[in-house]
Amino acid sequence: MEVMRFHSPYRHWISGLLSELAVFIGFMMFVGLVAYLVALVG
Amino acid sequence: MWVKLDRRDARTIAHYTGLLIVGVGLAMVVPLVTALVLKEWDPALDYLMGMGLSCAAGMALALSSPPNTPLNRTNALIVTALAWLAASLAAALPLAFSGNYGSYLDALFDAMSGLTTSGLTLVQDLDHLAMSHNMWRHFTHLIGGQGIVVAAVSIAIGLRGGAMSLYIAEGRDEKILPNVVHTTRFIWFVTAVYVVLGTVALTVVNLNLGMETARSGLHAFWATIATYDTGGFGPQSMNALYYHSWVFEFITVILMIGGTLNFNLHADVWRGDRKELFRNIEARAWGSNVLILVIFSTIGLAATTAFNGVPEILRKGVYHIFSANTGTGHQTLYAAQWAKDYGGLAMGAVILAMAFGGMASSTAGGIKALRLGLIAKGIVWRVRESLAPPSAVIKQRFHHLDDRDLTDSLLNSAFMVFILYMFSYITGGLIGAAYGYPIGDALFESVSAAANVGLSTGITNPAMPALLKIVYIVQMWAGRLEFVALLALFASLAIALRRRRAGRRSA
């Protein structure tokens, strides 16, 4: 398992980076949507 | 048993601290080049003098012990605690020479704030500050955000003997790659990727806002390192409000999240394990914190009359929760608006967001989502134990990079740091209140300093009492080190003083 853990993080870094950005933007949109609904009700 | 330091330990500590000061002195070449390119001759002289003094003092200390002296864990803790103070003392020199600070203490405040990625500032006439001084202020975020020790290890200024001990003492107890030098280089690689992307994106935004090309690029670079390193300095006194752009705010929030993400999570995702982002206890705890606090903040802002309509409530509410929770401290409000317009509930949500903080092994400050997640799991564990038969052995599992068992030791450690942060928040708040500031504002400012955030209600200004400046400096320093290294330094000093007194008495 330790050997698995230390696989190089450089090999797929572009797809990893794009995945991160997609998750960040998705999370922001989700938080924004929840806030929008709360603000509408409030 | 208390470990006593002898003269050889003191020399070893002085040697490594000296090397780190030399490193800070050498880093001043960045603002020096900026000054020379932009023909800012007076600031160039400030950086030449700062470099000379730092390198001379650092070399004098470094010569107290031969190179490659081994560094044990105790000494590493003390070097780390001292490194932040020593680096701040050196980094403050050119700022103090600039004439934009009321005193050396004010410059030291900004240096500590920059290196600890806090973002509180005492600079005067910021809107007319030389570009090279702005470069240095923001560059301290980059040096400090990566960790002075990480920066030193990766630049390899001669810390071969004690690199791992220093790395652990800085609160970065998880190795991402097998070798500490590879780990620190990976941290720099991730940072470089985000800094390049952020700078390009924000340059486009600034050009679109009508800024001239060179200024667009510099503002974009500074905003990127201030947000990705969760710092919070800005080149304008209005901070992020200066740009009046929702695109700017959107991009900076992405950078803030990238900056607050645990470097181990970056490594796992960049290895192709995207599910880790959703399974990890820390990512879940952080996401839940943000969501809950945004809901409270929005309810609070909706009840006020200061902001017009849902879009403005969203921009002011969501942005500041992200800014506070990631430990960035960029604000799109005037300082006075916190107390006047923001409302008690929304301000309370921002205080909690600052107090809780981002993720461990990142540039964020505060208690950290991992500890909050473990404490929540611990509460569930204790409730399950209380409901189970006496003979039953109840285990609580959590997922952080691997599936692990929750242990008493982990819980104790999480609670200890939680209590130390709360103590610091409350003590700073009470000291602020003792100076006559409203308790809400004083608590806000204290949490902002101790959690290395940088949002300000306006208490932090050049005219504030000197003792309160020192309190905030210590809070920023202690918060960045998560207390243990600093407490080890104070304990060692106390023991050394006691031994000296005992020696005098016996003589």
Mean pLDDT of A24-38: 95
Closest CA to B485 of B146, B231, B116, B140: B116
Residues 6+ apart with CB under 8 A from A10: B186, B189, B270
pTM score of the predicted model: 0.91
Angle between helices B246-260 and B180-208 (to 10 degrees): 180
**What pLDDT, on a 0 to 100 scale, did the predictor assign at position B432?**
97
Between CA B265 and CA B259 the distance in angstroms is 11
Q: For residue A2, what pLDDT band results from cuts at 50, 70 and 90?
A: very low
For the CA atoms of B474, B477, B479, B481, the dihedral, rounded to the nearest 10 degrees, stands at -140
Nearest to B440 by CA among B368, B349, B507, B506: B349
pLDDT score, position B78: 84
Per-residue pLDDT of chain B (507 residues; tens, 9 = 90+): 556 677 788 888 898 899 889 999 999 999 999 999 999 999 999 999 999 999 999 999 999 877 777 777 778 778 888 888 999 999 999 999 999 999 999 999 999 999 999 999 999 999 999 999 999 999 999 998 877 656 555 444 444 445 555 555 555 555 555 566 777 788 889 999 999 999 999 999 999 999 999 999 999 999 999 999 999 999 999 999 999 999 999 999 999 999 999 988 998 899 888 899 999 999 999 999 999 999 999 999 999 988 878 889 999 999 999 999 999 999 999 999 998 899 899 999 999 999 999 998 888 889 999 999 999 999 999 999 999 998 888 999 999 888 999 999 999 989 999 999 999 999 999 999 999 999 999 999 999 999 999 999 999 999 999 999 999 999 999 998 888 778 878 888 888 778 777 777 776
Residue with tokens 């599910």: B275
Which of A38, A40, A41 is the mutation pick for testing B, counting most B CBs within 10 A?
A: A38
Q: Quote the CA–CA distance of B44 and B482 in Å, as a whole number.
A: 35
| Token pair in block for residue B109 | 């405040």
Q: Supply the range of the domain harboring residue A16.
A: 12-41
Which of B253, B271, B317 lies nearest to residue A35, judging by beta carbons? B317
Those of residues 313-372 in B touching chain A at CB distance below 8 A are 313-314, 317-318, 322
Structurally, how many domains does chain A consist of? 1
* ipTM of the complex in this document: 0.88
Q: Which residues of B touch A15 (CB under 8 A)?
A: 272
Name the minimum distance, in Å, from the CA of A41 to any CA of chain B.
Answer: 9
Q: Does B277 touch chain A (CB under 8 A)?
A: yes
Residue A34 lies in a domain: yes
Q: Smallest CA–CA separation between A13 and chain B, in Å? A: 5
Residues of B within 8 A of A17 (CB-CB) are 193, 270
Q: State the DSSP string of B222-239.
A: HHHHHHHTT----SSTTG
> A9 vs B274: CB contact, 8 Å cut-off?
no
- Does residue A6 lie within any of the structural domains? no
Does the structure show a pLDDT above 50 at A4?
A: no
Give the span between the Cα atoms of B385 and B391, in whole angstroms. Answer: 10
Query: Do the domain assignments include residue A3?
Result: no
Are A16 and B294 an interchain contact pair (Cβ–Cβ within 8 Å)?
no
Q: Is B291 on the interface with A (CB under 8 A)?
A: yes
Domain assignment present for A35: yes
Is A2 contained in some domain?
no
